[in-house]
């Protein structure tokens, strides 16, 4: 019998294990590093390393790795054995404090955007003691993973963790400045995050027959199946047997890693599912989300399934995203976005709320940029995902309070009403004070903000770096003002009221999927950045450079390197997709269709020989339709090849990405059309790869 509490955290070098295995003084010193950010001494590191190694070896590990997150959006590891020799030449298991704290993996092939082209190009990994070390289990092989940050010799960030940690520090400092004004002195404050993850599961054998899925993670061809998601019968539907077993394995694997896997269900699209764990401190939540994605892919394989994390694996059905639920907590466990029973008199809450409203209205481009990646463009703005316009949903109660503040007549909060279900046997439920609005990219959901633009394949680090930094910056501005005040409570009300007046335009409680909103947003002057290529340049705008340098999160050089890396990645992925299409059309679609037309032509001739009257009309018209579509396919294929060549030759990073977006992507769309029509005309046995019907409904 499986009990969660028996397995939870069993592969983690967590506080409980440390308490058991470390001498008391060392344990407390390490805790001060973890919880209060104190510097780690060398002798402490040596003792911790040794205890960590003993623990890992007892569990069956032979190797350790510095586990880091380069700018590929994925994780990286290079394994070293715990092997060393005594003076006498005897083999021993060893992990020194130095090995724990620092590694020099070189790792020079990771994208660095020019940061490592100087004479000293070394890359170093350094231990992030605030995220616990864990044992990763792959096919019975256990490896001790030490979460690390990855930097260059002179300290430039080469990863996503370093700036994330910096942004958490910036937010902590700014938050505590503001809290002091209210007479609150927590030891530390943390942004906390709970990420919800959507994904698809498909049959591995079918996957292997599709080059597009193999090379790009999404289908580049495919006519709609007769059935899609129109009946909403998959959403929250009963989970199939194989998927149930898969999800159970996922839970167990994650629980062992100390990840609080909590919720699982079927999503809207056929073959689509969702996972959520309980929120935790942001850098840990980020590490955990990376591990989740890896675990989904690994466990799927065990079941002859493939997990697709792509944002839009199938046209015409919903894509996948990640909901980044974010709030700020104190080390005493208090949530600063908790409105309490009387939010109108909870001025501290109102200050933090208005800081976020101001930050989002001031830096919408940065939030958009943080969720910008080639694959997410196919999802954002579709009728299933938030539009590319950033707005905030607050719900009725907060709207009401803000209106009162603006009008200077703050009197009462709209209190929670009873929800009458109309069914006598059901208990009367207390209605949430905020309603749900699924169409908003940035929604206040009771006591947290839910940022819904992030793509399913992305790391959540980027979104949180931006959220933390822009909020920190506004909180610092608030503190600058309020610290000077002679009448604090008056100044607070004025500040909140002025902030709401200035930034009201970003608040929108209506339907974010509607066309009217696009028009309305334009009137309000809110940016609508529809493509990654337009979003990335905002990273190096003056506004961005200023806010990130004020908060010490990114230097200008670091931003420039990331700008290059992200744009290059865009072009590279577009290039791979276009080449995959060319390959599939030339090698698979055209030859298969020709095969079918030959059969048709032969059949027409035979029928004509046998029958004396004309009975080949249908076959001839089919043959003619198909032949015309082959012509069109071939024509659009040539167009794609020539635009692809133009894009490949372009040297400017931004110009290149624009060529891919404006020309190559259009030609890819044009090529897909005749091919998808052909799929519906050509006999099933002749079509070269599995169809949408097979992929979405055959598990
Ligand atoms: P919903 O139905 O609104 O999407 P849930 O209540 O299931 O949300 O929570 C979704 C995610 O939000 C979970 O990961 C949960 O742990 C996380 N969450 C809940 N409260 C907070 C909070 N205060 N801060 C950050 N995340 C939170
Ligand atoms: Mg949600």
- CA 196 to ligand 1: nearest atom: 14
Select from 279, 283, 445 the residue to mutate for testing ligand 1; criterion: most ligand atoms less than 8 Å from CB.
Answer: 279
Quote the ligand 2 centre to 313 CA distance (angstroms).
21
Angstrom distance (rounded) from CA 484 to CA 492: 12
The predicted pLDDT at position 667 comes to 98
The predicted pLDDT at position 381 comes to 72
Does the pLDDT of residue 430 top 60, yes or no? Answer: no
Angstrom distance (rounded) from CA 330 to CA 336: 8
The per-residue pLDDT for range 196-250, each reduced to its tens digit, is 999 999 999 999 999 999 999 999 999 999 888 888 888 888 888 999 999 999 9
The predicted pLDDT at position 555 comes to 96
Mean pLDDT of 396-402: 82
Q: Higher confidence at residue 288 or residue 510? A: 288
Angstrom distance (rounded) from CA 494 to CA 489: 9
CA 183 from centroid of its chain's CA atoms: 37
Q: Closest by alpha carbon to 279, among 255, 297, 261?
A: 261
Mean pLDDT of 59-79: 92
Does the pLDDT of residue 419 top 60, yes or no? Answer: no
Q: Would you place residue 414 in the very low, low, confident or very high pLDDT band (cuts 50, 70, 90)?
A: low
**Looking at the domain covering 168-554, what would its CATH class be?**
alpha beta
Do the strands 102-103 and 123-127 form a parallel or antiparallel pair, or are they unpaired? Answer: antiparallel
The predicted pLDDT at position 670 comes to 98
Phi-psi region of 271 (alpha: psi -120 to 50; beta: other; left: phi over 0): left
Quote the ligand 2 centre to 309 CA distance (angstroms).
17
Q: Average per-residue pLDDT in the chain? A: 91
Per-residue buried b or exposed e for 110-139, using 16+ beta carbons within 10 Å of the residue's own CB: bbbbebbeeeeeebbbbbbbbbbbbbbbee
Angstrom distance (rounded) from CA 626 to CA 681: 7
Highest mean pLDDT: which of 113-117, 411-415, 656-660? 656-660
Residues in the chain: 699
Q: Would you place residue 422 in the very low, low, confident or very high pLDDT band (cuts 50, 70, 90)?
A: very low
| CATH code, 4-159 | 3.10.20.70
- Of 194-198, 341-345, 587-591, the one with minimum mean pLDDT is 341-345
Q: Would you place residue 37 in the very low, low, confident or very high pLDDT band (cuts 50, 70, 90)?
A: confident
Q: Are 326 and 191 in contact (CB under 8 A)?
A: yes
Q: Higher confidence at residue 82 or residue 414? A: 82
Q: Would you place residue 421 in the very low, low, confident or very high pLDDT band (cuts 50, 70, 90)?
A: very low
Q: Would you place residue 277 in the very low, low, confident or very high pLDDT band (cuts 50, 70, 90)?
A: very high
- CA 263 to ligand 1: nearest atom: 7
Mean pLDDT of 652-659: 97
- CA 335 to ligand 1: nearest atom: 23
Share of the chain above pLDDT 70, in %: 95
Can 168-554 and 570-697 be said to share one CATH topology?
Answer: no
Select from 263, 325, 434, 441 the residue to mutate for testing ligand 1; criterion: most ligand atoms less than 8 Å from CB.
Answer: 325
The predicted pLDDT at position 318 comes to 92
Q: Alpha helix locations (H) across 612-681?
A: 617-649, 653-659, 665-681
For the chain, state the CA radius of gyration.
28
The per-residue pLDDT for range 346-372, each reduced to its tens digit, is 889 999 999 999 999 999 999 999 999
The predicted pLDDT at position 428 comes to 46
Angstrom distance (rounded) from CA 122 to CA 153: 6
Beta bridge partners of 189: 330
The predicted pLDDT at position 387 comes to 80
Does the pLDDT of residue 416 top 50, yes or no? Answer: no
- Of 62-66, 116-120, 237-241, the one with minimum mean pLDDT is 116-120
Listing DSSP states for 30-58 in one string gives HHHHHHH-PPPPHHHHHHHHHHHHHHHHH
Q: Would you place residue 411 in the very low, low, confident or very high pLDDT band (cuts 50, 70, 90)?
A: low
Domain residue spans in the chain? 4-159, 168-554, 570-697
Listing DSSP states for 218-271 in one string gives S-S--PPPS--STT--STTPPPPHHHHHHHHHHHHHHHHTT--EEEEEE-SSTT
Does the pLDDT of residue 420 top 50, yes or no? Answer: no
What CATH topology corresponds to 570-697? 1.20.120
Q: Would you place residue 433 in the very low, low, confident or very high pLDDT band (cuts 50, 70, 90)?
A: low
Listing DSSP states for 445-475 in one string gives -SSSEEE---BTTS-SHHHHHHHHHHHHHHH
Angstrom distance (rounded) from CA 657 to CA 570: 7
SS (H, E, C) 336-403: CCCCCCCHHHCHHHHHHHHHHHHHHHHCHHHHHHHCCCHHHHHCCCCCCCCCCECCEECCHHHHHHHH
Quote the ligand 2 centre to 323 CA distance (angstroms).
6
Residue in this structure with the two tokens 């019975």, named with its chain if needed: 140
Share of the chain above pLDDT 90, in %: 75
Q: Would you place residue 118 in the very low, low, confident or very high pLDDT band (cuts 50, 70, 90)?
A: low
Q: How many other C-beta atoms can be found within 10 angstroms of the C-beta atom of residue 480?
A: 10
Does the pLDDT of residue 613 top 70, yes or no? Answer: yes
Q: Would you place residue 409 in the very low, low, confident or very high pLDDT band (cuts 50, 70, 90)?
A: low
Task: State residue 660 phi and psi, 5-degree precision.
Answer: -65, -45
Q: What separation, in Å, do the N-terminal and C-terminal C-alpha atoms of the chain show?
A: 28
**CA nearest ligand 1 atom 16, residue:** 278
SS (H, E, C) 532-590: HHHHHHHHHCHHHHHHHHHCCCCCHHHHHHHHHHHHHHHHHHHHHHHHHHHHHHHHHHH
Q: Are 369 and 458 in contact (CB under 8 A)?
A: no
The predicted pLDDT at position 585 comes to 98
Quote the ligand 1 centre to 377 CA distance (angstroms).
25
Q: Would you place residue 121 in the very low, low, confident or very high pLDDT band (cuts 50, 70, 90)?
A: low
Burial (Cβ within 10 Å: 0-12, 13-18, ≥19) of residue 504: middle
Ligand nearest to the CA of 339: 1
The per-residue pLDDT for range 534-590, each reduced to its tens digit, is 999 999 999 999 999 999 999 999 999 999 999 999 999 999 999 999 999 999 999
Which residues line the pocket of ligand 1, CB cutoff 6 A? 192-194, 196, 263, 276-279, 323, 325-327, 335, 445, 447-448
Angstrom distance (rounded) from CA 499 to CA 96: 53
Angstrom distance (rounded) from CA 142 to CA 134: 10
């Amino acid at each position: 019998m499986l009990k969660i509490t028996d397995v939870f955290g069993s592969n983690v070098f967590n506080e409980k294990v440390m308490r058991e295995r470390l001498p008391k003084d060392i344990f407390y010193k390490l805790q001060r590093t973890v919880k209060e950010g104190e510097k780690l001494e060398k002798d402490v590191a040596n003792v911790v390393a040794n205890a960590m190694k003993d623990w890992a070896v007892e569990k069956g590990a032979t190797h350790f790795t510095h586990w880091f997150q380069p700018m590929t959006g994925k994780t990286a590891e290079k394994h070293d054995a715990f092997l060393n020799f005594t003076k006498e030449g005897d083999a021993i298991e060893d992990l020194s404090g130095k090995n724990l704290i620092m590694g020099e993996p070189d790792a020079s092939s990771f994208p660095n955007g020019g940061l490592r082209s100087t004479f000293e190009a070394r890359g170093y990994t350094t231990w992030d003691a605030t995220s616990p070390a864990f044992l990763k289990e792959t096919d019975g092989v256990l490896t001790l993973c030490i979460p690390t940050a990855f930097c260059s010799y002179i300290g430039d960030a080469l990863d996503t963790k370093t700036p994330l940690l910096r942004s958490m520090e910036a937010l902590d400092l700014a938050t505590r400045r503001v809290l002091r004004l209210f007479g609150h002195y927590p030891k530390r404050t943390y942004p906390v995050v709970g990420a919800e993850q959507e994904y698809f599961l498909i049959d591995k054998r079918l996957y292997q027959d599709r080059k597009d899925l193999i090379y790009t993670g999404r289908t580049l061809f495919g006519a709609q199946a007769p059935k899609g998601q129109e009946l909403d019968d998959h959403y929250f539907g009963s989970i199939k047997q194989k998927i149930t077993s898969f999800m159970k394995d996922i839970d167990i694997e994650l629980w062992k890693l100390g990840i609080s896997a909590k919720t699982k269900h079927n999503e809207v699209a056929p073959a689509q599912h969702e996972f959520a764990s309980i929120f935790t401190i942001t850098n840990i939540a980020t590490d955990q989300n990376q591990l989740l994605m890896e675990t989904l892919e690994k466990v799927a394989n065990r079941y002859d399934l493939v997990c697709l994390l792509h944002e839009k694996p199938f046209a015409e059905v919903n894509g996948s995203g990640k909901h980044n639920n974010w709030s700020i907590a104190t080390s005493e466990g208090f949530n600063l976005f908790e409105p309490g029973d009387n939010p109108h008199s909870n001025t501290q809450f109102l200050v933090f709320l208005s800081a976020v409203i101001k930050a989002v209205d001031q830096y919408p481009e940065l939030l958009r940029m943080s969720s910008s990646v080639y694959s997410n463009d196919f999802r954002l703005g579709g009728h299933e995902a938030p539009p590319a316009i950033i707005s905030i949903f607050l719900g009725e109660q907060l709207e009401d309070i803000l209106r009162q503040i603006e009008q200077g007549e703050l009197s009462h909060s709209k209190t929670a009403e009873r929800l009458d279900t109309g069914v006598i046997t059901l208990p009367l439920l207390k209605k949430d004070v905020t309603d749900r609005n699924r169409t908003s990219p940035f929604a206040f959901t009771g006591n947290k903000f839910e940022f819904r633009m992030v793509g399913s394949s992305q790391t959540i680090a980027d979104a949180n770096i931006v959220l933390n930094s822009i909020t920190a910056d506004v909180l610092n501005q608030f503190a600058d003002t309020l610290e000077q005040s002679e009448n604090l409570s008056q100044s607070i009300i004025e500040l909140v009221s002025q902030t709401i007046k200035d930034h009201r335009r970003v608040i929108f409680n209506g339907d974010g999927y509607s066309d009217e909103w696009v028009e309305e947003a334009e009137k309000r002057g809110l940016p609508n950045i529809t493509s990654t290529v337009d979003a990335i340049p905002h990273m190096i705008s003056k506004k961005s450079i200023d806010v990130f340098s004020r908060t010490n999160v990114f230097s200008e050089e670091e931003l420039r390197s990331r700008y290059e890396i992200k744009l290059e990645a865009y072009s590279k992925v577009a290039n791979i997709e276009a080449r995959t299409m060319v390959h599939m059309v030339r090698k698979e679609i055209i030859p298969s269709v020709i095969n079918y037309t030959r059969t048709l032509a032969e059949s027409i001739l035979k029928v004509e020989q046998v029958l004396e009257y004309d009975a080949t009309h249908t076959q001839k018209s089919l043959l003619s339709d198909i032949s015309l579509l082959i012509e069109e396919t071939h024509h659009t294929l040539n167009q794609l090849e020539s635009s692809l060549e133009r894009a490949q030759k372009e040297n400017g990073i931004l110009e290149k990405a624009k060529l891919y977006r404006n020309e190559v992507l259009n030609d890819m769309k044009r090529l897909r059309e005749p091919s998808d029509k052909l799929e519906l005309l050509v006999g099933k046995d002749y079509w070269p790869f599995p169809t949408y019907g097979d992929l979405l409904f055959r598990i």
